[in-house]
């Protein structure tokens, strides 16, 4: 995918809909987003066209009907957003971000153990 900018909150809703099940027809996406986000059919179809133009959504055809699929995996979109956020807010410093986050909210024992596991694995990968 050649999307240059980050996804907006509305675009994330649309992408989550497509990541959950794809391909989807415009009607299927509109029904889902009406139920989950209160969007009108025209809002959903406009977003699908716009996201297709941006290269984030692939528009195809099945049985004479337009169908839409994500052009990027969710994990890749999350990584792009995380890198952008880290660079923009924390000047690229992961330790500064973690320090800020752990001061802002209490971590459960399970979260602390998960962080230790992540750091151990990162250390092993470098060895």
DSSP 42-56: HHHHHHHHHHHHHTS
- In total, the chain counts a number of residues equal to 127
- The answer to whether the beta carbons of residues 118 and 108 sit under 8 Å apart is no
pLDDT of the residue at 74: 95
pLDDT of the residue at 75: 95
pLDDT of the residue at 3: 61
Contacts of 54 (CB under 8 A, 6+ apart): 3
Q: What is the pLDDT along the chain (127 residues), one digit of tens a residue?
A: 456 668 999 999 999 999 999 999 999 999 999 999 999 999 999 999 999 999 999 999 999 999 999 999 999 999 999 999 999 999 999 999 989 988 988 899 999 999 999 999 988 877 6
pLDDT of the residue at 1: 46
Strands 65-70 and 24-25 come out as antiparallel
């Amino acid at each position: 995918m050649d999307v240059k900018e980050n996804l907006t909150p509305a675009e994330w809703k649309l992408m989550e809909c497509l990541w959950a099940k794809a391909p989807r027809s415009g009607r299927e996406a509109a029904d889902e987003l009406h139920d989950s986000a209160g969007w009108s059919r025209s809002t959903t179809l406009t977003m699908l066209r716009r996201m297709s133009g941006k290269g984030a959504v692939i528009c195809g055809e099945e049985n004479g009907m337009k169908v839409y699929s994500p052009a990027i995996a969710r994990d890749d979109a999350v990584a792009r957003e995380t890198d952008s956020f880290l660079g923009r807010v924390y000047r690229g410093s992961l330790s500064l971000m973690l320090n800020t986050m752990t001061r802002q909210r209490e971590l459960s024992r399970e979260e602390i153990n998960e962080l230790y596991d992540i750091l151990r694995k990162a250390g092993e990968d470098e060895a």
